[in-house]
Amino acid sequence: MSRKLIPGRLVAATHNKGKVVELKDLFEPIGFQVISAGELNLEEAEETELTFEGNALIKARAAAQATGAPALSDDSGLEVTALGGMPGVHTAIWAGEPRDFYRAMEKVERELQAIDAKDRSARFVSCLAVAWPDGHEVTFRGEVEGTLTWPPRGEMGFGYDPVFVPTGFDVTFAELEPAQKHAMSHRAAAFEKLKAALL
């Protein structure tokens, strides 16, 4: 039995400011008041699953239980074909703690050069999870294909955006205007599925 998500307060179960901006851009125009786990001083849930879906659900469940409101979580990452899908669910901590995406991008590039990879294809994956305080939950997955470039280019976006060139473009996600990126991103693809099912 599908359940609709009613416009109103929606907890974004993330402390990543870049993700919060994208989620607000997607949800606020359709009547949601998005407030992040960071703004609410919620603890970050430990991501112990081996899939994007599993980790997204961990975060959404924790925020829904802590706030008594529906919670939305995004778990996303970069899958590099020549590296067997890595960094995958380890995208944020690929270069260790504290999180440093420039070091993480360098590590991906070093590993591609170490195996003399001719295939530089990659995809961004996003899994959106919605959890309600009563335990009901759903997930939606979106992907965007592209290739990796080096050195990083662009000042917009966040994470690995400066090295990711989406298919059909010659600029990185970090060189695209935010509205253009939001319209075609992996998060936007997952959001379209969520919207069709829940709104």
Catalytic machinery residues: 75
Task: Return the amino acid letter for 198.
Answer: L
Query: Are 191 and 26 within 8 A, CB to CB?
Result: yes
**C-alpha distances in Å from residue 102, one per residue of 76, 89, 151:** 17, 17, 10
Strands 9-12 and 33-36: parallel
Which residue blocks in 70-160 are alpha helix, DSSP H? 101-114
**C-alpha distances in Å from residue 38, one per residue of 20, 72, 160:** 9, 13, 22
**C-alpha distances in Å from residue 114, one per residue of 108, 118, 133, 142, 159:** 10, 11, 47, 30, 22
Q: What is the DSSP string of 147-187?
A: EE-SS---SSS-TTGGGEEETT-SS-GGGS-HHHHHHHSHH
Residues sharing a CB contact under 8 Å with residue 164, sequence separation 6 or more, in sequence order: 78, 122, 124, 146, 147, 148, 149, 172, 173
